[in-house]
Amino acid sequence: MLRIITWNIQWGLGIDGTVDLRRMVDEAHAMADFDVLCLQEVSDNFSDLKGNSGGNQFAELAALLPGYTAVEGVALDIPDGTGGRRRFGNMILSRLPVAQVLRYTLPWEGASTRNMPRLLLEAVVEAPSSALRVMTTHLEYSSGPLRRAQVEGIREAHRTAYERVLTPREDGPGTYARFPTSPSVVLTGDFNMRPDDPVKQRISKPFGNGAPALLDAWQVAHGASPHPTSFCLYEQSNGPPHCCDFMFVTEDLASRIRRIDYNQETQASDHQPVLLELDL
C-alpha cells in the first residue's frame, strides 16, 4: 500500500496563529503512516509572513523527517536586501527511493492582480511494484487567466513526460544517464479552484498523444458525492468553506485507489490535508 498526503501548510501557520512545523508533521503522521508527503507554501527567510521566524523551512522539514528524501521546489526566489535569498514554494518528502526530479516553471503571464511565479515539482518515486511520478503544485490565487495558463503548463508537462516514456532514449555517462520514469502519475496540490470550475475540469481532459488522462481521485472513488471542504473550514477571511485541494491519478491507477480522505479535524493550517491510498 502506498500512502500519499498533500497539504498546503501555510508556512506552518495554524488557526491559532502559531507557526509550528513539528505540529504539521505530527498531524500528518496521525492521519497515516505516509510514504510521500507533498507540501505547498513552504518558506525560507520570510520573517514578514505572519508568525514566521524567517527560518529555512525546507531544511527544518527535512530534519523533522529523517529517512525521507527531501525535494525542494522553489517557485519564488528573490533577494532579501542583505545579500541573502528569500524562497517560497513546494516540497516532496519521500521515504521511497527517489529517481529523477524535475521542476517545471508554470506560465507566468501578465496579470494586473497580485501574483507570483508558480512551479510544478515532480519526483519519480520507486514504489514496490513500479516507478511512479508524483507531482505537486500550487496555482495562482488571484487570477483566473493565470490559473488557466498554468493548467495548460501542467498538461504539457504530463504530455511530454509520456512522450519520453514512449521513446527509447540512448543511455550515456554522467549527465546523460537514463533514469526510470513512468506513465503513471499522482498529481497533488492546492489548485485554488472549486470542483465545478471548468479550468479545474480541463485537467482531466483527454490527451491527443494517448497519454493517460488525469482523473480526480475523489470522483473516481465517490462519484458525484461533493468534495469535502479543504479550505476556509475554520477561518473564513478568504471566503466561505470550499474545496480547492485535489488529488489526481492517471487512468491506469483508478482501480488501485483504496481510500481518499480529507482530514476535517486538524486546525494546523488554513487548509485541510488530503490522504490517498493506492494498492501499489
Mean pLDDT (whole number) for 7-33: 98
- What's the confidence (pLDDT) of residue 61? 98
Those residues with Cβ within 8 angstroms of residue 211's Cβ, 6 or more apart along the chain or in another chain: 158, 159, 161, 162, 163, 183
Q: Kindly list the structural domains of the chain, giving each domain's residue range(s) and its CATH number in brackets, ordered by start.
A: 2-166+178-278 (3.60.10.10)
* Residue 42 banded pLDDT, cuts 50, 70, 90: very high
Question: Any idea how long the chain is?
Answer: 280
Is pLDDT of 181 > 90? no
Is pLDDT of 180 > 90? no
Please indicate whether residue 237 or residue 41 has the higher confidence score (pLDDT). 41
For 126-183, give the DSSP string: E-SSSEEEEEEEE--SS-HHHHHHHHHHHHHHHHHHHHHHHS-----SGGG------S
Mean pLDDT (whole number) for 159-167: 91
Burial (CB count within 10 angstroms: exposed 0-12, middle 13-18, buried 19+), residue 34: buried
Please indicate whether residue 179 or residue 133 has the higher confidence score (pLDDT). 133
* Residue 169 banded pLDDT, cuts 50, 70, 90: confident
Q: Which of 112, 101, 160, 161 is nearest to 140 (CA)?
A: 112
Mean pLDDT (whole number) for 207-221: 96
The whole-angstrom separation of Cα 226 and Cα 216 is: 12
- What's the confidence (pLDDT) of residue 110? 87
Q: What percent of the chain has pLDDT over 90?
A: 91
What is the pTM for the complete model shown?
A: 0.97
Is pLDDT of 168 > 90? no
- What's the confidence (pLDDT) of residue 136? 98
- What's the confidence (pLDDT) of residue 263? 98
